[in-house]
Chain A
Amino acid sequence: MNTVWNIARKELSDGLRNRWLLAISLLFAVLAVGIAWLGAAASGQLGFTSIPATIASLASLATFLVPLIALLLAYDAIVGEDEGGTLMLLLTYPLGRGQLLLGKFVGHGLILALATLIGFGCAALAIGVLVEDVELGLLAWAFGRFMLSSTLLGWVFLAMAYVLSSAVSEKSSAAGLALGVWFLFVLVFDLALLALLVLSEGKLNPELLPWLLLLNPTDVYRLINLSGFDGGGSAVGVMALGGDLPVDGRLLWLCLLLWVGAPLALAYWVFLRRAT
């Protein structure tokens, strides 16, 4: 356990040193505040509108941003050490490959969690303080859920990045593949699902379709954040399918956790087979 923490500690101090933590926190804070106050500008309004609308806009933005940041943070975790020549040295130390991988995950995971907490937390505080007659209970609940699920979403893509990083032998291929993964889950998957929906002309079992959303962690994440508000009129695109999903919130959370665990286990398996 100590070993895992020693690895994590280095990643964390790297994150502080190269100002990743600061940059991500700042980005999150600026975006969250911007969306809260200017999100309704398209409809001619200025200023804070409502908590559900703010969370919905934030969630659809975070769907793009959080996976990208996580992949950027972690794509060179293994292959970078290998190219730098330190991986072989580390593997002669009294630590297992699992401990090394877990240490990286804990370190990167903490960076993401802290950035989410600081960035979005500041925005929530600003809303709570500056906006009059806002429902503080609802605000805390919605933002808490949003921050927790955003962190989990980030962890999913950290784990995916480790799979790539363990599998390839060059940093540049890891970067390319990371972009591919981002494209697949953030853009292509939903389009493909919609295309499937249109092309099947209703022949596909309509009860099956919503379940397909669970195959994409970003969709699970959005489902979590869009549910629970009265009159969920903000669900558009494939998210409208989610309304038909006969599952409760706890299953969605479980699903997101599974999406963290499965790639992490896969990364461990791939890393064990990596030649030194």
Chain B
Amino acid sequence: MNAVEIEGVSQHYGNLTVLHDLHLNLGEGEVLGLFGHNGAGKTTSMKLILGLLQASSGRVQVLGRSPNDSLVRRQLGYLPENVTFYAQLSGRETLRHFARLKGAALAQVDELLEQVGLTDAMDRRVKTYSKGMRQRLGLAQALLGAPRLLLLDEPTVGLDPIATQDLYQLVDRLRQQGTSIILCSHVLPGVEAHINRAAILAHGRLQAVGSLASLREDAGLPALIRASGLQHRAQLLQRWHADGHQARSLGVDGIEVVAINGHKLDLLRELLGAGGAQDIDIHQPSLEDLYRHYMDHAQATQTGEGAR
């Protein structure tokens, strides 16, 4: 059973269509990154999964049931974007209140506070918390009742690098325990190692979904190979140009070549054969590059449609 199944969902607000025929699945124990520009439909997708919105058409199933089912909600954790709490309650009181509402054991409250590093501040009012502390309290709130499905909307906003790293480690740990996670984010660097698949939304349409490897293949973005310390750079450049590769010299004895899919290993072999190569650096297209690629693509389609 998939943790989330979205089948052919469209969502309209009046004349405005914010989601076009979305198909998206999330398997058990899978981490899906959901990326897109502002207004791409990320929040709408989240709200559909949370049962806060009723899809205009199509079908949404969460943990095999309707998203409104209270059994589903008991097993679901949600960290909203820019989470806020009751300012006059302390962190501990806040968490206890939400634990009661969720039917989670109160003993879990102190554990979670420790896990997110708020033990020292738990008796202070939330009013005095920094943004990062509020975010961590929000995370603890989402983890109440050991959810099987976790929705994290911009979880790293306001977190310092160490707290961000801690968060990603937590995500890894939860994934190993079988929790399914959807992670919405603007911050692309650093996230790629912690997701199984990425989904890229633009203008209410799903542009691409898949593992990073399959997205790279699909996008056909080249890798960049850089090396330095070459003894016969001119020869190598000449040969590559003759073979139709894009190559250029870099610094005193360096070289850079664009490796389009399938040529990477050949180029590397030739580079190593040329002798003297040190410091070889292969730059794979990153999530950011992929994101940019699909965004440009979406933009082009959009303008193309507009022109017609």
Contacts and interface: CB of A to CB of B under 8 A. Distances in A.
B84 A94 contact: no
Interface stretch (B70-78, B165-173, B233-241): B70-78
Interface in B36-88: 47, 50-53, 70-71, 73-74, 76, 78, 80, 82-88
A95 interface: yes
B101 interface: yes
Contacts of A90: 101
B85 A94 contact: no
Contact of B53 (A17, A84, A94, A276): A276
Interface string A1-39: 001001100100010011000000000000000000000
A208 interface: no
A14 B86 CA distance: 10
Nearest to B13: A275
29 contacts: A3-B101, A6-B100, A10-B86, A14-B88, A18-B88, A84-B84, A84-B86, A84-B87, A85-B80, A86-B84, A86-B86, A88-B52, A89-B78, A90-B101, A92-B50, A92-B51, A92-B73, A92-B78, A93-B98, A93-B101, A93-B102, A94-B70, A94-B71, A94-B101, A94-B103, A95-B70, A95-B101, A276-B52, A276-B53
Contacts of B83: 85, 89
Nearest to A90: B101
Contacts of B70: 94-96
Contacts of A84: 84, 86-87
A140 B52 CA distance: 50
A92 B76 contact: yes
Given A7-B101, A84-B84, 7 more contacts: A6-B100, A10-B86, A89-B83, A91-B52, A93-B102, A94-B101, A94-B102
Interface of B: 47, 50-53, 70-71, 73-74, 76, 78, 80, 82-88, 97-98, 100-103, 141
Given A92-B76, A93-B73, A94-B74, A85 B102 contact: no
Contacts of B52: 88, 91-92, 276
Contacts of B100: 6
Contacts of A95: 70, 101
B252 to A, nearest CB: 57
Contacts of B101: 3, 6-7, 90, 93-95
Interface residues of A, number: 20
Most chain B CB inside 10 Å of its own CB: which residue of A18, A84, A86, A90: A86
Nearest to B88: A17
Q: Label chain A's interface by main secondary structure.
A: helix
B91 to A, nearest CB: 14
A94 B88 contact: no
A243 to B, nearest CB: 49
Contacts of A18: 88
A227 to B, nearest CB: 43
A42 B156 CA distance: 68
B81 to A, nearest CB: 9
A91 B88 CA distance: 21
Given A94-B73, A276-B47, A85 B88 contact: no
Contacts of A7: 101
A100 to B, nearest CB: 10
Contacts of B78: 89, 92
A85 B73 contact: no
Contacts of A96: 70
A272 B11 CA distance: 19
A-B CB proximity, top 10 nearest: A85-B84, A94-B70, A94-B73, A6-B100, A276-B52, A92-B50, A92-B78, A94-B74, A93-B101, A6-B101
B226 to A, nearest CB: 47
Interface string A77-117: 00000001110111111111000000000000000000000
B73 A88 contact: no
Nearest to B51: A92
Most chain A CB inside 10 Å of its own CB: which residue of B51, B97, B101: B101
Nearest to A91: B52
A3 to B, nearest CB: 7
A81 B102 CA distance: 18
Contacts of B102: 93-94
Contacts of B103: 94
Nearest to A85: B84
Contacts of A89: 78, 80, 83, 141
Contacts of A17: 88
A221 B151 CA distance: 50
B73 A10 contact: no
Contacts of A3: 101
B80 A88 contact: yes
Nearest to A100: B101
A89 B78 CA distance: 8
A91 B100 CA distance: 14
A6 B100 CA distance: 7
